[in-house]
Amino acid sequence: MLTGQLNRKQLIAILFLGVSLLIAIVQCTEQESGDVRGKKYANRTSCVQCHNDIAQNYLHNAHFNTSKELHTPSATDSMGLEENVYVFNEKTKVGVEKRADGLYQVAYVNGENVKEERTAMVFGAGKSAYTFAFWYGNKLMQMPLNYLVPEHEWVNSPGFPTEQIYFGRAIITRCLECHSSFVQSKIIASANFQQEEEFLKNSLIAGIDCQRCHGPAAEHVQFHQEHPNEKEAKYMVKYQELSRSQKVDMCGVCHSGTNLKMLNSTFFFKPGDTINNLPEYTSYTGEDPDVHGKQKQLLMASKCYKLSNMDCGSCHQTHTNLSPDLAVYSQTCLQCHQKIKHPSLDEKALHLAKDNCIDCHMPVKVSKSIGFQRSASKEKIPYKQRTHRIAVY
């Protein structure tokens, strides 16, 4: 009897452990299949199941790589960053050092290491520049130096003091709303009664993912998993069915400048929404918007936009992993401007113009709001970007 009772107890214990394990597996599966943005959002890997080709191309796209977390010490190896020393003056320098656990920026005053921080996050796709950030508790802070990719040069971060090392600029939600897909934040009161912002680290979704532009996809994914033979996309907004203003607004929510403010976070701006109703949104009024971040206003100021049905997608292929060269963009221009003549150009220049409309009609301009201070110099390298105001200059 005792042996039988022990066996029953053992059996009950085994069953209990089995049920507990099953519950844990289900909970873990549910957690992994969810999304920090809420139940309407699908697991971020779901899109790959049906859209693998698009997803693989998009992994190399500038939007996807506009920010990334550096989880491993070797995460910056492919970025071509060089160790160096940035000089403010003979007593004050910042060293960029690769160590066993990652990339550091180190403040040296009179040769003494007075502060060092390890890079936790990088902003930028590597075409123009990289900006770096570190975690200070639950705050995300910008590091003193940026890296200019074409120049292979470390520079003082824009807007930072020109004579001293600065680790004190917080990266706020408004920055991440255009450089990531989501982060959960909360406002706290500091010791001096000012409001400060903290993030839930595990909630951060770096880069611009599929659902940031296409909207919540949980219902769409569930339907097509249950109906694998259904080829027409269900429960997703179709871009081709949006109005032109809605298409442009979906890009414009990040390409209208930092003065764009909402009552709710732009993280939840979805296809079909409009930004004209947002608080403090300013449309083009005849001024010359800065080339950095004002692409929507500049495009809307163009005759090409006013006299046609063009939108951002007329020129930009968002999913591709390659940036078209100027000749490819120029072919888009020639679809409408087949009979345009250039009487002021000679034959050689006219031949060149057929392969490059862009440099003349969308020239590279200097940003009025951003410049990069060079090492051991007061000189600032201007930030240049191609204007989206298509015109005769």
Q: For the residues 161-189, what does the mean pLDDT come to?
A: 94
pLDDT of 284 strictly over 60: no
Question: Chain-wide mean pLDDT for the chain?
Answer: 87
> Which of the listed residues 207, 227, 258 is the one where a domain comes to its end?
207
> Which of the listed residues 154, 182, 207 is the one where a domain comes to its end?
207
> Which of the listed residues 156, 185, 207 is the one where a domain comes to its end?
207
Same domain, 289 and 355: yes
Provide CB contacts within 8 A for 217, sequence distance 6+.
Answer: 41, 42, 46, 47, 210, 211, 235, 236
Same domain, 143 and 97: yes
The answer to whether residues 173 and 187 touch, using CB atoms and an 8 Å cutoff, is: no
Kindly indicate the confidence band of residue 34, based on its pLDDT and cuts at 50, 70 and 90.
confident
Q: For the residues 64-80, what does the mean pLDDT come to?
A: 95
CB-count burial class (<10 Å; 0-12, 13-18, 19+) for 134: buried
Residue whose C-alpha is closest to residue 385's, from 66, 198, 127: 127
Same domain, 246 and 184: no
pLDDT of 22 strictly over 50: no
Asked whether residue 49 is assigned to any structural domain, the reply reads no
pLDDT at 196: 86
Q: Which segment of 4-13, 299-308, 316-325 scores lowest on mean pLDDT?
A: 4-13
Asked whether residue 14 is assigned to any structural domain, the reply reads no
How many domains is the chain partitioned into structurally? Answer: 2
- Count CB neighbours of 174 within 10 A: 16
pLDDT at 41: 97
Provide CB contacts within 8 A for 363, sequence distance 6+.
Answer: 386, 387, 393
Asked whether residue 101 is assigned to any structural domain, the reply reads yes
Q: For the residues 192-214, what does the mean pLDDT come to?
A: 91
pLDDT at 281: 57
pLDDT at 323: 74
Same domain, 268 and 179: no
The residue segments making up the domain with residue 284 are 241-393
Kindly indicate the confidence band of residue 2, based on its pLDDT and cuts at 50, 70 and 90.
very low
The answer to whether residues 94 and 144 touch, using CB atoms and an 8 Å cutoff, is: yes
Phi/psi at 135 (5° precision) = -90, 130
Same domain, 246 and 199: no
Asked whether residue 180 is assigned to any structural domain, the reply reads yes
pLDDT of 8 strictly over 70: no
Asked whether residue 91 is assigned to any structural domain, the reply reads yes
pLDDT at 3: 43
Q: For the residues 300-304, what does the mean pLDDT come to?
A: 93
Same domain, 366 and 303: yes
Asked whether residue 178 is assigned to any structural domain, the reply reads yes
Same domain, 203 and 275: no
DSSP letters spanning 95-113? EEEEETTEEEEEEEETTEE
Same domain, 175 and 303: no
Residue with the bigger pLDDT between 17 and 131: it is 131
Q: Which residue has the tokens 């909970």?
A: 27
Residue-wise pLDDT for 325-354, tens only, equals 899 999 889 888 887 778 888 877 777 777
pLDDT at 286: 59
Residue with the bigger pLDDT between 294 and 339: it is 294
Same domain, 166 and 274: no
Q: For the residues 209-230, what does the mean pLDDT come to?
A: 96
Residue 323: C-alpha distances to residues 61, 190, 320, 329 (Å): 9, 45, 8, 10
Rounded CA separation 289/305 (Å): 16
Residue 98 CA, chain-centre distance (Å), reads 25
The answer to whether residues 195 and 187 touch, using CB atoms and an 8 Å cutoff, is: yes
pLDDT of 44 strictly over 90: no
Residue whose C-alpha is closest to residue 367's, from 293, 311, 276, 300: 293
Rounded CA separation 292/175 (Å): 14
Amino acid at 194: Q
Residue 148: strand pairing partners: 129, 153
- pTM for the whole thing? 0.85
Rounded CA separation 48/198 (Å): 32
Same domain, 245 and 370: yes
pLDDT of 10 strictly over 60: no
Q: Is the dihedral of CA 184, 189, 191, 192 positive or negative?
A: positive
Q: For the residues 344-373, what does the mean pLDDT come to?
A: 87
pLDDT at 290: 87
Same domain, 387 and 260: yes
pLDDT at 26: 36
Residue-wise pLDDT for 87-146, tens only, equals 999 999 999 999 999 999 999 999 999 999 999 999 999 989 999 999 999 999 999 999
Q: For the residues 377-390, what does the mean pLDDT come to?
A: 93
Q: Which segment of 21-30, 226-235, 261-270, 324-333 scores lowest on mean pLDDT?
A: 21-30
Residue-wise pLDDT for 93-108, tens only, equals 999 999 999 999 999 9
Q: Which segment of 11-15, 51-55, 211-215 scores lowest on mean pLDDT?
A: 11-15
Rounded CA separation 364/388 (Å): 9
Q: For the residues 27-34, what does the mean pLDDT come to?
A: 47
pLDDT of 321 strictly over 80: no
Asked whether residue 162 is assigned to any structural domain, the reply reads yes
Q: Token pair for residue 43?
A: 């697991």
The answer to whether residues 81 and 64 touch, using CB atoms and an 8 Å cutoff, is: no
Whole-number percent of the chain with pLDDT over 90? 67
The answer to whether residues 280 and 274 touch, using CB atoms and an 8 Å cutoff, is: no
Same domain, 284 and 381: yes
